[in-house]
Amino acid sequence: MLRHSLSFLVPGRTLRLLAVSLAIAAAIGFSFPPESVSAAPASASQEAEAAEYELDTTTLHMGTVVSAKLLGKTPEAVKRYAELVESEVKRYDDMMSVHKETPLNEVNRRAGEAVPVTPEIAEMSRMALKIADETGSAFEPMIGPLVNLWKIGFGGNEVPSDEAIKKAIELVDHRKVRVWEDKGQWFMQIGKGQNVDMGAIAKGYIGQKLAEKLVVAGATHGLLDLGGNVVAIGEKFPGQPWRIGLQSPDKERGSYFAVISAANESVITSGAYERNFEKNGRRYGHILSPVTGRPVTTDIASVTIVDSHGARADALCTALFAMGWDKAEAFLRAHPEVHAVLLKENLEDALVSEALRNKIQPYDSNLRMHFIEQQGS
């Protein structure tokens, strides 16, 4: 189902015109907070030149709410962008969902065989394998057997037996995966009994590709939210970046510990505070370790990555969260191209890449930000 809300924007009057749109966005879980606007009123000529139409659209695919704030010079333009969002998200859902018959799910069904796949699946899978190597499997795209065993976030509320976990671990190894091209056709092959799970990279990849499609279609600025994976297209207005709220793990949705200014990049956050279950007084999060076969034990509450490559940002969020504070800090020091915000489990200390110093604004008065110098940053 696709829902639209159309508004007419003029700089200097944004707050009044966006009131309804922001209320809708908050209701569906958009990750950016309302902004106070204090710009001086624009002249009639400036208004005529700068005025735009905004369309807020919401659809449900891939088991998540996909929201978009789309801007354009005409109602026809923003409607065209909205239709593009709907068609592309559906196309990727039909291509990559593991909950129905799709080309990616066919790889799992025919584990051990060479299976034809789309160029998009091949590209995403090659990225996933590369990041798995770089992170020592802290991000592991072949985590599927463990995900299917625990089912956290999909109705699972029981701790599997040690024997079942051990059997599943034996199948978790991205080094057994091959992706190659032959005469213009891409193929993918996983090991027998294996199960690929791109849940920790797919939304980031799709968001990035969707933004690229919108830009080609003529969009110059807008905001996409794929279940909390946010992509900022251009700036909100010239000289005014989008402001993306970073969710406080211990508070209700819409409460932020900090805000990131973003333009032409993805802002993706990962944590175990939304998908988990409790058993015998212990909480089990959805991010699983390929080594222990159990939810990771970490001293990090959440990880946010700011990157122009959405797929990389998505995968690295999971990896750094799984690493824990010390290993994640060491990884960041060795990888200056990765810009991150790590919130410690005490919810008071945040490790922030120096490159984000001028982009981050604390919202929690108790937050202590520690900026980290990265080699070559």
| Cα(313)–Cα(270) distance, integer angstroms | 10
Beta strands 349-353 and 368-372: pairing type? Answer: parallel
Nearest alpha carbon to residue 302 among 262, 264, 350: 350
Residue 152 one-letter amino acid: I
For residue 43, the tally of other CB atoms under 10 A from its CB is 10
Q: How far is CA 32 from the centre of its chain?
A: 14
349 is annotated as contributing to ligand binding: no
200 is annotated as contributing to ligand binding: yes
Encode burial over 75-112: b for 16+ CB neighbours within 10 A, e otherwise: eebbbbbbebbbebbeebbebbbbeeebbbbebbeebe
| Cα(84)–Cα(31) distance, integer angstroms | 22
Integer-rounded Cα radius of gyration of the chain: 21
CB-hemisphere CA count at 13 Å for 205? 21
| Cα(133)–Cα(296) distance, integer angstroms | 19
Q: How far is CA 52 from the centre of its chain?
A: 28
Q: Rounded to 5 degrees, what are φ and ψ at 17?
A: -75, -25
299 is annotated as contributing to ligand binding: no
Nearest alpha carbon to residue 309 among 341, 338, 332: 338
- Indicate the annotated binding residues for Mg(2+): 200, 314, 318
- Indicate the annotated binding residues: 200, 314, 318
